[in-house]
């Protein structure tokens, strides 16, 4: 019987049990209408003497995924989530939360304030607020440690991870795990309680004793792992606070901190990225109802470093893979190298040798293209040379089935030229992985003019399936990530010519939040690799860029980076970069030959030149249509090249500085470095004159 229904909450009586079912697709966020409906449900439950227990459950794919992120930054609409939760806590009849899917954030906070919690076997629970630069603000911090103890609560709150239903039961977060129909099990559970009316309040529980040294060690660990992020540190402070503060006072402090964090720049940046990552999945000119093609079996051509990593990505996600190489020897080598990729997991104990053997059964190797006749998708990862790739495309066209997709992993070659080399250009696109392919999250998918919409939808869906962050880009030399990176690299090199040291540049950029500076990174990649990459593109460079051959000079001196113990820096046993007077000398000679005199360069100039060169290039990319939205570029840089997430990505960062200030700085560097490098892009000129930002 459907007793009462609000916009998103319906009520049904089953004997003495009142069942409140929430339906607020897609993820049952705790939007205003849900809060109103749940308060009404509680009111009805409290007033009706015949209702002995209340079940709160959700329809659709998940229990509440948390507060409604879209409401953040808007005036708070009553009833607040905290009010609803207080009311649940005070209720003098038992309330049971029945969780399925992902019970997250404010959703889990609702469950924590109920008397009992039951969960479907595959349910997952977490307080992920920290990932949005926030912290639980509706009782998560004051209740969770009371239920599962401080150490586990600290991990869940400060790191934002999820735990499964059985682990949650073992820790005391969940009372019962249900393998059968959750709704019926919840009603049965409630009926049993209805007879005894047993109310339990998490707020009445004491905080279990714990080793206080844990707090400081966690602070140190989090500072290292989440450089520059404020919320994880504040999480530890709040947990320390709740252990010594009366419940009501601690809950008020928790809420006040959450409100403060909602308006903090870090949270705005992280929320921007949350939305941008999801927006990036919505493809321009591809209707949202476009059905991706079925991909069951995958081919990878080219067993080199990239091909091996790509094959591992697919195998990890359970796809059978055929790896095609030119010789049996190269394939045997590749197989051994792929096994080695899992060395770390075996050492850590997160994978057994038997599991690895099983995974490797998904990988088949062959020297014959005929083996690809029944694959649905082939990723081509052969040598970065148009002639070689053109030949591979022709051979693939001869064996593939009509709707098989060819995705090239090219970094710099022209996607249109490659599409023309296939007999069905509508099946051709790019899937640009980043090294190491099995680790790096970013996947630049590339559309060519003739790529079929369903192919674009397929490579996006497949990218998600293999755990990547896919972003669709268009034709452009170096696509988006590498094209922007090349401008940062150019400025880093020019800064050396102008008088900066590798150490100074690296320090400024890692101080900004990049995991590693460009010169330490070059030493890691190898100077021979850097020199080859530079020389492959030298024809398109300006005269100053062509003559700025510091990389070639280091390579010629045998300074290949970490692998030879010397590059921009010297490396000892500990692999820590040390300054080397020989590099100072090499740079001094280079400057003298090129007619530059070293000047004092400020950290501000280093940061602005490196980052604004990227922003200016990104503006050109946007105007050309090679990236669909500024947010896509932010996702590319935060998931691919270590741009600190709490600064939202380059376009978000530029907006925070203000486009008029960006333009003014570009004009200044046009005068100092040269117009051909820093003339503001047309889009920046337009936005500055209209007083708008990239994201407006």
Query: Do residues 271 and 132 touch, judged by C-beta distance below 8 A?
Result: yes
Q: Rule CB under 6 A: is residue 608 a binding residue for ligand 3H9? A: no
Q: With H, G, I as helix, E, B as strand and everything else as coil, classify residue 29.
A: coil
Which residue shows structure tokens 């930002």? 693
CB neighbours of residue 219 within 10 Å: 17
Instruction: Quote the least distance from Cβ 108 to ligand 3H9, whole Å.
Output: 8
> What is the rounded distance in angstroms from the CA atom of residue 674 to the CA atom of residue 660?
20
Query: Do residues 377 and 298 touch, judged by C-beta distance below 8 A?
Result: yes
Phi (first) and psi of residue 559, to 5 degrees:
-90, 80
Q: Rule CB under 6 A: is residue 103 a binding residue for ligand 3H9? A: no
Q: Which helix (H) or strand (E) holds 433?
A: strand 428-433
Q: Rule CB under 6 A: is residue 24 a binding residue for ligand 3H9? A: no
Q: Which of the stretches 33-41, 103-111, 206-214, 563-571 binds ligand 3H9 when contact is defined by CB under 6 A?
A: 103-111
Distance between the two ends of the chain, CA-based, in angstroms? Answer: 48
Of 36, 41, 120, 132, which lies in the binding site for ligand 3H9, with binding defined by CB under 6 A? 132
CA distances to 417, 418, 579 from 385, rounded to whole Å, are: 12, 11, 37
Measured from the CB atom, the residue of 111 and 312 that comes closer to ligand 3H9 is 111
Measured from the CB atom, the residue of 24 and 410 that comes closer to ligand 3H9 is 24
Query: Do residues 59 and 29 touch, judged by C-beta distance below 8 A?
Result: no
Measured from the CB atom, the residue of 16 and 161 that comes closer to ligand 3H9 is 161
Measured from the CB atom, the residue of 112 and 382 that comes closer to ligand 3H9 is 112
Q: Rule CB under 6 A: is residue 67 a binding residue for ligand 3H9? A: yes
- Is 129 designated active site? yes
**CA 549 to the chain's CA centroid:** 35
Instruction: Quote the least distance from Cβ 594 to ligand 3H9, whole Å.
Output: 51
CB neighbours of residue 380 within 10 Å: 26
- Is 109 designated active site? yes
Query: Do residues 484 and 618 touch, judged by C-beta distance below 8 A?
Result: yes
Instruction: Quote the least distance from Cβ 92 to ligand 3H9, whole Å.
Output: 25
The upper half-sphere exposure of residue 444, i.e. CA atoms within 13 Å in the direction of its Cβ, equals 32
CB neighbours of residue 623 within 10 Å: 14
* SS (HEC) of 191-232: HHHHHHCCCCCHHHCCCCCCCCHHHHHHHHHHHHHCCCCCHH
Of 8, 24, 115, 138, which lies in the binding site for ligand 3H9, with binding defined by CB under 6 A? 138
Q: With H, G, I as helix, E, B as strand and everything else as coil, classify residue 371.
A: helix
Of 53, 54, 65, 142, which lies in the binding site for ligand 3H9, with binding defined by CB under 6 A? 65
Measured from the CB atom, the residue of 173 and 194 that comes closer to ligand 3H9 is 173
> What is the rounded distance in angstroms from the CA atom of residue 461 to the CA atom of residue 459?
5
Q: Rule CB under 6 A: is residue 463 a binding residue for ligand 3H9? A: no
Helices (H), 595-681: 603-624, 630-640, 650-657, 659-672, 675-678
Measured from the CB atom, the residue of 282 and 291 that comes closer to ligand 3H9 is 282
Measured from the CB atom, the residue of 157 and 522 that comes closer to ligand 3H9 is 157
Of 66, 307, 430, 518, which lies in the binding site for ligand 3H9, with binding defined by CB under 6 A? 66
Measured from the CB atom, the residue of 44 and 230 that comes closer to ligand 3H9 is 230
Q: Which of the stretches 131-139, 302-310, 517-525, 612-620 binds ligand 3H9 when contact is defined by CB under 6 A?
A: 131-139
Measured from the CB atom, the residue of 69 and 167 that comes closer to ligand 3H9 is 69
> What is the rounded distance in angstroms from the CA atom of residue 273 to the CA atom of residue 649?
8
**CA 651 to the chain's CA centroid:** 17
CB neighbours of residue 426 within 10 Å: 16
Q: At a CB cut-off of 8 Å and minimum separation 6, what does 118 contact?
A: 96, 97, 98, 99, 174, 175, 176, 177, 178, 182, 185, 186, 189
Could you say which residues in the range 272-301 bind ligand 3H9, by CB under 6 A?
278
Q: Which of the stretches 136-144, 244-252, 401-409, 601-609 binds ligand 3H9 when contact is defined by CB under 6 A?
A: 136-144
Q: Which of the stretches 135-143, 243-251, 465-473, 669-677 binds ligand 3H9 when contact is defined by CB under 6 A?
A: 135-143
Of 29, 276, 363, 418, which lies in the binding site for ligand 3H9, with binding defined by CB under 6 A? 29
Phi (first) and psi of residue 95, to 5 degrees:
-120, 135
Measured from the CB atom, the residue of 138 and 335 that comes closer to ligand 3H9 is 138
Q: Rule CB under 6 A: is residue 302 a binding residue for ligand 3H9? A: no
Q: Rule CB under 6 A: is residue 136 a binding residue for ligand 3H9? A: yes
Q: Rule CB under 6 A: is residue 632 a binding residue for ligand 3H9? A: no
Burial 526-542 (b: 16+ CB within 10 A, else e): bbbebbebbeeeeeeee
Q: Rule CB under 6 A: is residue 68 a binding residue for ligand 3H9? A: yes
Q: Which of the stretches 23-31, 231-239, 283-291, 357-365 binds ligand 3H9 when contact is defined by CB under 6 A?
A: 23-31
> What is the rounded distance in angstroms from the CA atom of residue 644 to the CA atom of residue 514?
6
Query: Do residues 481 and 637 touch, judged by C-beta distance below 8 A?
Result: yes
**77-96 mask for ligand 3H9 (x: CB under 6 A)?**
----x---------------
Q: At a CB cut-off of 8 Å and minimum separation 6, what does 591 contact?
A: 497, 499, 597, 598
Of 11, 20, 41, 104, which lies in the binding site for ligand 3H9, with binding defined by CB under 6 A? 104
Measured from the CB atom, the residue of 504 and 638 that comes closer to ligand 3H9 is 638
> What is the rounded distance in angstroms from the CA atom of residue 160 to the CA atom of residue 130?
6
Of 8, 102, 445, 458, which lies in the binding site for ligand 3H9, with binding defined by CB under 6 A? 102
Q: Rule CB under 6 A: is residue 400 a binding residue for ligand 3H9? A: no
> Which of 47, 78, 129, 176 is labelled catalytic?
129
Of 12, 14, 40, 69, which lies in the binding site for ligand 3H9, with binding defined by CB under 6 A? 69
Strands 363-366 and 102-104: unpaired
Q: With H, G, I as helix, E, B as strand and everything else as coil, classify residue 30.
A: strand
Instruction: Quote the least distance from Cβ 65 to ligand 3H9, whole Å.
Output: 3
Of 11, 34, 98, 109, which lies in the binding site for ligand 3H9, with binding defined by CB under 6 A? 109
Instruction: Quote the least distance from Cβ 656 to ligand 3H9, whole Å.
Output: 22
Q: Rule CB under 6 A: is residue 129 a binding residue for ligand 3H9? A: yes
Instruction: Quote the least distance from Cβ 454 to ligand 3H9, whole Å.
Output: 20
> Which of 46, 47, 71, 109 is labelled catalytic?
109
Measured from the CB atom, the residue of 136 and 561 that comes closer to ligand 3H9 is 136
Task: Describe the crossing of helices 581-594 and 481-498 by its angle, rounded to 10 degrees.
Answer: 90
> What is the rounded distance in angstroms from the CA atom of residue 576 to the CA atom of residue 562?
9
Could you say which residues in the range 216-275 bind ligand 3H9, by CB under 6 A?
258
Q: Rule CB under 6 A: is residue 110 a binding residue for ligand 3H9? A: no
Instruction: Quote the least distance from Cβ 129 to ligand 3H9, whole Å.
Output: 5
Instruction: Quote the least distance from Cβ 168 to ligand 3H9, whole Å.
Output: 16
Residues in touch with ligand 3H9 (CB under 6 A): 26-27, 29, 65-70, 81, 102, 104-106, 109, 128-129, 132, 134, 136-138, 140, 258, 278
* Catalytic residue IDs: 109, 129
């Amino acid at each position: 019987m459907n007793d009462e229904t609000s916009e998103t909450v319906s009520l049904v009586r089953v004997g003495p049990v009142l069942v409140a079912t929430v339906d607020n697709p897609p993820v049952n966020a705790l939007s205003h209408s849900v809060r109103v409906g749940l308060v009404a449900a509680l009111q009805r439950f409290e007033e009706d003497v015949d209702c002995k227990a209340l079940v709160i459950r959700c329809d659709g794919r998940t229990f509440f995924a948390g507060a409604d992120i879209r409401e953040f930054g808007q005036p708070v609409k009553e009833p607040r989530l905290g009010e609803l939760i207080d009311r649940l806590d005070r209720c003098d009849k038992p309330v049971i939360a029945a969780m399925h899917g992902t019970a997250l954030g404010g959703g889990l906070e609702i469950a924590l304030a109920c008397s009992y919690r039951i969960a479907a076997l595959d349910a997952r629970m977490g307080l992920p607020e920290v990932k949005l630069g926030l912290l639980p603000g509706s009782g998560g911090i004051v209740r969770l440690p009371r239920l599962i103890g401080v150490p586990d609560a600290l991990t869940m709150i400060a790191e934002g991870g999820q735990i499964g239903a059985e682990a949650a039961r073992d820790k005391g977060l969940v009372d019962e795990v249900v393998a059968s129909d959750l709704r019926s099990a919840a009603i049965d559970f409630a009926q049993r309680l209805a007879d005894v009316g047993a109310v339990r309040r998490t707020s009445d529980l004491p905080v279990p004793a714990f080793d206080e040294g844990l707090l400081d060690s966690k602070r140190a660990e989090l500072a290292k792992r989440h450089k520059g992020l404020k919320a994880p540190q504040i999480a530890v402070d709040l947990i320390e606070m709740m252990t010594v503060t009366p419940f009501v006072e601690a809950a008020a402090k928790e809420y006040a901190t959450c409100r403060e964090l909602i308006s903090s720049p870090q949270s705005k940046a992280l929320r921007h990225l949350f939305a941008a990552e999801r927006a990036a999945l919505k493809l321009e000119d591809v209707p949202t109802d476009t059905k991706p093609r079925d991909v069951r079996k995958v081919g990878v051509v080219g067993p080199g470093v990239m091909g091996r990593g790509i094959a591992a990505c697919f195998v990890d996600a359970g796809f059978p893979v055929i790896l095609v190489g030119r010789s049996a020897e190269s394939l045997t080598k590749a197989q051994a190298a792929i096994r080695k990729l899992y060395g770390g997991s075996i050492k850590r104990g997160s994978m057994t040798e038997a599991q690895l053997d099983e995974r490797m059964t998904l990988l088949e190797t062959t020297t014959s293209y005929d083996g690809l006749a029944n694959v649905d998708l082939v990723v081509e990862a052969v040598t970065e040379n148009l002639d070689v790739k053109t030949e591979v495309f022709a051979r693939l066209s001869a064996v593939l089935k009509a709707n098989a997709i060819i995705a090239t992993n090219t970094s710099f070659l022209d996607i249109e030229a490659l599409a023309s080399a296939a007999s069905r250009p509508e099946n051709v696109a790019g899937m640009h992985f980043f090294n190491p392919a099995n680790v790096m999250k970013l996947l630049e998918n590339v559309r060519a003019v003739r790529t079929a919409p369903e192919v674009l939808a397929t490579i996006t869906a497949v990218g998600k399936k293999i755990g990547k962050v896919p972003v669709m880009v268009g034709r452009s030399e170096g696509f988006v990530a590498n094209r922007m990176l090349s401008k940062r690299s150019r400025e880093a090199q020019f800064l050396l010519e102008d008088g900066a040291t590798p150490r100074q540049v690296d320090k400024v950029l890692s101080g900004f939040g990049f995991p590693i500076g460009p010169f330490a990174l070059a030493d890691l990649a190898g100077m021979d690799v850097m020199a080859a990459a530079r020389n492959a593109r030298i024809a398109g460079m300006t005269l100053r860029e062509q003559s700025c051959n510091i990389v070639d000079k280091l390579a010629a001196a045998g300074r290949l980076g970490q692998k030879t113990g010397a590059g921009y820096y010297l490396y000892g046993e500990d692999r820590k970069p040390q300054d080397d007077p020989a590099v100072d000398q090499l740079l001094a000679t280079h400057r003298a030959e090129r007619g530059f005199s070293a000047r004092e360069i400020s950290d501000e100039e280093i940061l602005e030149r490196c980052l604004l060169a990227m922003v200016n290039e990104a503006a050109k990319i946007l105007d050309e249509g090679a990236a669909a939205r500024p947010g896509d570029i932010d996702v590319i840089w935060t998931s691919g090249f270590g741009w600190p997430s709490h600064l939202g990505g380059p376009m978000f960062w530029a907006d925070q500085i203000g486009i008029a200030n960006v333009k003014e700085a570009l004009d200044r560097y046009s005068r100092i470095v040269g117009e051909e490098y820093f003339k503001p892009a047309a889009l920046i000129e337009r936005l500055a004159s209209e007083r708008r930002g990239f994201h407006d």
